[in-house]
Structure 1
Amino acid sequence: MGARLKGNIMLLMTAMIWGGGFVAQSAGMDYIGPFTFCAARYVLAMLALIPVIFLFSVQARKNPQAGLWEKFAPDRPTLWGGLYCGLTLGVADALQQVGICYTTAGKAGFITALYIIMVPLMERVLGKRIPKVLAFCVLLAIVGFYFLCVNEELSVGYGDFLTLCCAVFFSLHILVIDHFMKKKADGIKLSWVQFAVSFVFASMLTAVFETVTWEMLWAARYPLLFAGIISSGIAYTLQILGQKYTDPTIATLLMSLESVFAVLAGWAVLGEVMSGREIFGCGLVFVAVLLAQLPLPVLKR
């Protein structure tokens, strides 16, 4: 399997997991606060990754006889990458969790999806040339997300502003991952370090703004298990590993399918009915993602 195809499959799996995890994320908020939810899911993600590191990290594969600490300890690029990824992810998740409390799901979905246009714009500011076909795909996907997510009159409220800030930090998270994976950071260890940093950040916010008990955490155990182990431990690690083989702009298009999969999951699992407008939006996003994968040398200049 080619490296590019492998990366695309990982990112597609990431989008599928994130889309299916929207129900768990929403359900958890019925029992605990947004910062507590973030902190708890990071702990579960860290625990889930420990055996993965000992079995599949770069050091473990190169030297299976190495000691436990040698297998676990991150090198310098991995440590610094985990620090910056953890800070951007922690801020993005916190803003998203709080923002959802103050805006509608449709507007939040559309505003968060704006990272697919923020990433190429940031790359352009940094001096990277964006192929014409990718620029067209980004614009096509934005139109698709509008039809998919926005069904009410657009206005900018407190929750909308927080969600927009969340999209900015998710964009930075994608670019930071790309930067440190090019420096040969260990993707699995980097994921663990980022969760540790995000946990410290979320715990500080929890201590200041929220009250939590073991009873509350136990009541939210099922949403937390899915969000912590599946959506965080597995999906965010797949994101890091997948971005190693994929251009950041294409990665954002693939991961933006999260919103499409969320709508499809609601239709398949919860019996929610998709309108013609939503089906049309899904179609545009799928076309944008597929077009970005086609070998069109004339357009990729």
Structure 2
Amino acid sequence: MSRIQANLLLTLVAVIWASAFVAQSRAMEVMGPMMFTGIRFLIGALVVLPLILRERRAPGARTLTASDGGKIAGLGLLLTLGAALQQIGIQHTTVTNAGFLTALYVPLVPLLGWLLLRHWPHWSVWPGALACLVGAFLLSGAHELKIGLGDAWVVASALPWALHVLLIGVVADRMNSPYTVAGGQFLLCGLLGLTWGLVNEPWSWEAVQAAAAPLLYTGVLSVGVAFTAQVVAQRYAHAADAAIILSSETLFTAGFGYVLMGDRLSAAGLLGCGLILGAMLLIQLLPMLRILRPRAA
């Protein structure tokens, strides 16, 4: 796969993830957030299962240990927490807001990398993080001087998402089993979500049937295909390319919200969107200047 093909595949991932916000929002009309989260991640685990079997049967495949299982379980818990907080928030906010506010994890990743892994971030992270906070405030309704309930839930999901993004690459590389890591965390997230939904949320087979289309779309495409495609594409795409292209999910989310859900942004909201997107690009592009700048003779 060429670098251009990998970048195009990452663009498709961003489109799928963005469109999933619309499906997630519509599913909330007939079923609870944890039931929906559980079912869609179990569907995603089934999609990845053939890749896991091929990976485990490959010559030289690593034998998994109890420590490996614990790491996968930890990632699954982070995934469950992020997905649950986001899904609860989607019930009380717009698709556009949810898409942009979820993207707050982008500047959080290098910040947490510095705090937890002692990876010193580029100076652009600090103004980028501030711009994201201001942008989130404007997007959520600066004229009311408060963050809405749904927006607050989605903002809270950014922390587990950031921790998940920060740690999953380390775990997958050390285990050399990316599909096993992906499928294992999907399975745990699905089981936890389904169990919680069965015990604490009203549900019925009629509701599951009514949400069949959103469940299949988000389970097969958003969880199974998109996460797997990201793993494949990032083997060939430059890391900076991948981060910038995947951040375009926010733009696609606003587009889907506008066309399919009737979401509209005020001038303050548009400014907030611009600040968040600008911050995401800032923290990815500025560090590249040092690399691209010709060396002094």
Match for residue 232 of structure 1 among 199, 210, 223: 223
Q: Does the aligned pair in 2 maintain the 1:116–1:253 contact within 8 Å? A: no
Secondary structure in 2 aligned to 1:131? coil
2:42 touches 2:191 (CA, 8 Å); kept in 1? no
Residues 106, 231 of structure 1: alpha-carbon distance in 2 compared, 3 angstrom cutoff: closer
Q: Which moved more, 1:149-158 or 1:179-188?
A: 149-158
1:67 — aligned with what? none
In the alignment, what sits opposite 2:123? Answer: 132
User: What is the CA distance between 1:109 and its match in structure 2?
Assistant: 4.2
Among candidates 64, 69, 72, match of residue 75 of structure 1: 64
Maintained 8 Å contact 1:32/1:216: yes
Q: CA 1:284 to 1:157, structure 2 compared with 1: closer, same or farther past 3 Å?
A: closer
Q: Return the alpha-carbon distance in structure 2 between the equivalents of residues 99 and 124 of structure 1.
A: 28
* Aligned pairs, number: 289
Q: How far apart, in 2, do the equivalents of 1:182 and 1:279 lie?
A: 39
Amino acid at match of 1:112: T
Q: Which runs of 5+ in 1 are unaligned?
A: 64-69
Report the counterpart of residue 44 of structure 1 in structure 2. 43
Q: Which position in structure 1 is the counterpart of 2:153?
A: 162
Task: Tell me what 1:66 maps to.
Answer: none
* 1:57-93 Cα shifts (integer Å, max 9, x gaps): 3x45x44xxxxxx98x973476444322211111111
Query: Which stretch of structure 1 is more off in the superposition, 278-287 or 174-183?
Result: 278-287
**1:13 & 1:54 partners in 2: Cα distance?**
25
2:22 aligned partner: 23
Please give the alpha-carbon distance, in whole angstroms, between the structure 2 residues aligned to 1:154 and 1:130.
31
Contact 1:39 1:202 in 2 (8 A): yes
1:27-63: per-residue Cα shift (whole Å, max 9, x none)? 11111111110111012112222233345x3x45x44
Superposition deviation, residue 25 in structure 1: 0.8
Alignment of 1:101-250 (within 5 A): 101-103=91-93, 105=95, 107-126=97-116, 127-133=118-124, 135=126, 150=141, 153-156=144-147, 158-241=149-232
Equivalent position of 2:31 in the other structure? 32
Q: 1:156 to 1:186 in 2, by over 3 A?
A: same
TM-aligned CA deviation for residue 289 of structure 1: 5.4
Distance 1:10 1:137 in 2: 27
- The structural deviation recorded for 1:125 is 1.0
CA gap 1:155/1:249 in 2 versus in 1, 3 angstroms = farther
Contact 1:119 1:248 in 2 (8 A): no
Aligned to 1:296: 289
**Structure 2: distance between partners of 1:279 and 1:12:** 22
Supply the AA of the counterpart residue of 1:172.
L
What is the alpha-carbon root mean square deviation over aligned residues? Answer: 3.8
Picking from 248, 252, 263, the partner of 1:261 is 252
Distance 1:164 1:270, change over 3 A: closer
Query: Could you list the per-position Cα deviations for residues 233-289 of structure 1 after superposition, in whole angstroms to 9, with x for gaps in the alignment?
Result: 112233445566789898665434322111122345567667666666666666555
Change (3 A) 1:31 1:216: same
Q: How does 1:81-92 map to 2 (within 5 A)?
A: 81-92=71-82
Kindly indicate whether the alpha-carbon contact (under 8 Å) linking 1:112 and 1:166 is maintained by their aligned counterparts in 2.
Answer: yes
Cα contact 1:257–1:285 (8 A) shared by 2: no
2:85 aligns to what?
A: 95
CA distance in 2, matches of 1:202, 1:279: 34
Indicate the larger mover: 23-32 or 184-193. Answer: 184-193
Determine if contact 2:80/2:193 at 8 Å carries over to the other structure: yes
Distance 1:261 1:139, change over 3 A: farther
For structure 2, the residue ranges without an aligned partner over 5 or more in a row are none
Structure 2 CA distance for partners of 1:135 and 1:112, relative to 1, 3 Å: same
Query: Normalising by the residue count of structure 2, what TM-score does the alignment of the two structures yield?
Result: 0.77
